[in-house]
Amino acid sequence: MFEFLKGQTKSWSTKIIIILLALSFAVWGISDVFRPGNSDTVASVGETEIAAATLGREFNAEMRQIQSRYPNFTGDQAREIGLPTQILRRLVEQALIVEEARSSGMVISDVMIANQIIKENPALIENGKFNNLLYERALQRSGKSIESFENGVKNEILTKQVIDSIYPNRKIPEILADFVEKYNQERRDVQLIKISSDLDNRDLISDNDIESYYKENSEKYRNPEYRSISILRLNSEAVKDEIELTEEDIFAEYEYRSTEFELPERRDVTQILSSDEVLINNLKTAIDNGQSFIEIKNIASEQGAVVTELPDLTNGSLPKEADIRVFNTGRGEITAPIETPFGWHLFLINEVKEAGLIPYQDIKDEIYDQMFAEIATDTLYGLSANVEDILAGGGSLEDAANSTNLQITKVGPFDSYGVDKVGDFKSAIFNGSEKILNAAFSVALGETSDLYEIGEDGYFLLRVDNIEESSIQPLSEILNKVKEDINTNLINEKSLLIAEDLSKKIKSGVLLNEIIKSNNFLVRTINGLSRSEFDQENGITAELNQKLFAVKANARDPLIAKINSDYHVLIPLNKYFASPENFESTRNATVYSIQQSRKLDTIILYRFALQAQHNIEVNGSTFERLFAKP
């Protein structure tokens, strides 16, 4: 719950101090996210009701977070992957805890919420006052409302109290921790014997063999359905020649939006940072005595100090103690030693850049792109309305193209993945536009689709011109392919027989060196296989890795497996245990993992019991209405 707030600030290592929140609850109104008595409810858990507005708000917040990383993610896609249901399930789980807490008489006060947020976000308070504006901005960037965030904190506290009441922190027995750690640190060396049988059997394959194999495996040679389409794209590329932006237009926009391009005073600074006050004082004395700053930086690095270049610092970017000194020191000057919570600092002011506007030439292209995008969007919207009117009046795809002065593109044939008959993906048409493929394979032959919007790529509509039904390829066209498949099967069958014979010999006690020498097998060894980090580069899959650790090492009990299309005989040679450099840290991590697993099991069982104890009802009509397609 609190991680997103931390994510909205930049750490000291990236020049910006974390401005964390201290809370003044006199200005806060803590209201329950679950409002009993709301008639428009989407679900209820006992007496606790989940308002449709709550579900809608949580859904919108989730969408904002997803779209901040994937701008083209749409509401339709969210519905397709079941995002509304997932969010409702999460709210119901929270409501179960809230209902149980209420029935148990638990109460969470505003002070408890404040203390929890302060604990998770250690505050840097200026003059003991809460910066409400910064708090609201952090929440806004995260996509959370104040009410939603504060109620989330409240429910986390309730959840912890309820869970802690049924799961006290019991110490994990040392013998269990040692056993699990030993299990995790087990390693194995494995010998792989590759079975090669690359004889060409194609001359021995008869016509009857071919016909019989073809009939038994005919589905293997089925062609997919192919379609050819005519598509009309309404995108910015299509209207670029109609949009004219002069230099005067761009400069006028620059002047109109000048406040957006204001730059504060900035400074390029070199910092020397150390926890050793004596070292920093000695370095400053050496500078005062005439030693060059380049020499001082080298000395500082040799004695363990950290030397960092900090370009474009703005007022407020540093801890308060350093910020005041740096922005009151002239170009080329060096500050006195400064102590902050991070240690002792010296700063050299390399450059002072006065406040002003970003130069027009530096921002001109960006302004042009923004203006073009806005005009293109408006133009495309007008064109789309025109196209819809033409289609509604019975017009054709060609009529729509002529009215918009745009070109129709012919594409195909291609399959449902957008791949043509030679195996090439039609990236220019389908890349990032799954809707086009879906439309192409949902419209009947000769029909024209609806006009679809595809985010920043504008609009499209298409007509299906031809459909090649899925069919099994005639044997005459794939004769060589069928022969090759039969030959591969014969090779595999022979290789498997050789592998099984080799395995029997090893089990019977025949010396491995004698077997390898007489058969000229290719042998290699993989060292240090672990249970969790299997060797995919050498073809050791998770399933095969599990089998290798299930058999005894040095027990003459080989495995037979197909690796990269070739059969292999695998022999676990020996087992041993790794010795982590930081054993105590690794063991503590194991103990924590066991504790969390046990706790999670308890929570799952507890929530299952709560579901049986508290009646859960979902208002399907309200849910459907809330997430119905527009």
In the 3-class helix/strand/coil scheme, how is 146-197 assigned residue by residue?
HHHHHHHHHHHHHHHHHHHHHCCCCCCCHHHHHHHHHHHHEEEEEEEEECCC
Q: What's the pLDDT score for residue 389?
A: 84
Q: Tokens for 83? A: 């995002």
The CATH number that domain 3-166+613-626 falls under is 1.10.4030
DSSP 565-600: TEEEEEEEEEEEE---TTHHHHHHHHHHHHHHHHHH
Q: Tell me whether domains 3-166+613-626 and 226-245+362-469 share a fold.
A: no
CB 400 within 8 A of CB 232: yes
Instruction: Using alpha carbons, select from 267, 266, 284, 268 the residue that is nearest to residue 344.
Output: 284
226-245+362-469 has which CATH code? 3.10.50
Strand partners, 408: 232
Select from 600, 601, 598, 583 the least CA-distant residue to 181: 583
Three-state helix/strand/coil letters over 33-52: CCCCCCCCEEEEECCEEEEH
Structure tokens at 41: 């409810």
Domain boundaries, given as residue ranges, for the chain: 3-166+613-626, 186-219+479-577, 226-245+362-469, 265-354
Which own/partner contact pairs does 53-60 have at CB distance under 8 Å and 24+ positions apart?
A: 54/91, 55/84, 55/87, 55/88, 55/91, 55/623, 55/626, 56/626, 57/145, 57/148, 58/87, 58/90, 58/91, 58/148, 59/83, 59/84, 59/87, 59/627
Question: pLDDT (tens digit, 9 = 90+) per residue, 51-67?
Answer: 888 888 888 878 877 87
Cα separation values, 216 from 27, 210, 224, 301, Å:
77, 10, 19, 74
In terms of Cβ atoms closer than 10 Å to its own Cβ (0-12, 13-18, 19+), residue 102 is: middle
Cα distance between residue 295 and residue 391, in whole Å: 76
Structure token pair of residue 283 = 């370095």
pLDDT digits (tens, 9 = 90+) for 214-238: 999 999 999 999 999 998 888 777 7
Contacts of residue 235, Cβ cutoff 8 Å, sequence gap at least 6:
380, 457, 458, 459
- What's the confidence (pLDDT) of residue 103? 74
Please list the alpha-helical segments (H only) found in 290-359. 293-302, 320-326
CATH topology of domain 265-354: Chitinase A; domain 3 (3.10.50)
Measure the CA–CA gap between 214 and 167, rounded to whole angstroms: 62
Mean pLDDT of successive 10-residue segments in the chain (630 residues)? 36 28 28 41 84 83 76 81 88 81 73 69 50 59 66 77 67 75 85 77 82 91 92 80 85 86 86 89 90 88 86 81 86 89 88 87 87 82 82 84 84 88 77 79 90 78 92 91 88 87 84 71 85 79 86 82 87 82 70 76 76 82 77
Go through the chain and tell me how many residues it has: 630
For residue 269, give every residue at least 6 positions away whose Cβ sits within 8 Å of its Cβ, in sequence order, or none. Answer: 309, 310, 311, 313, 326, 347, 348, 349, 350
CB contact at 8 A, 83 and 133: no
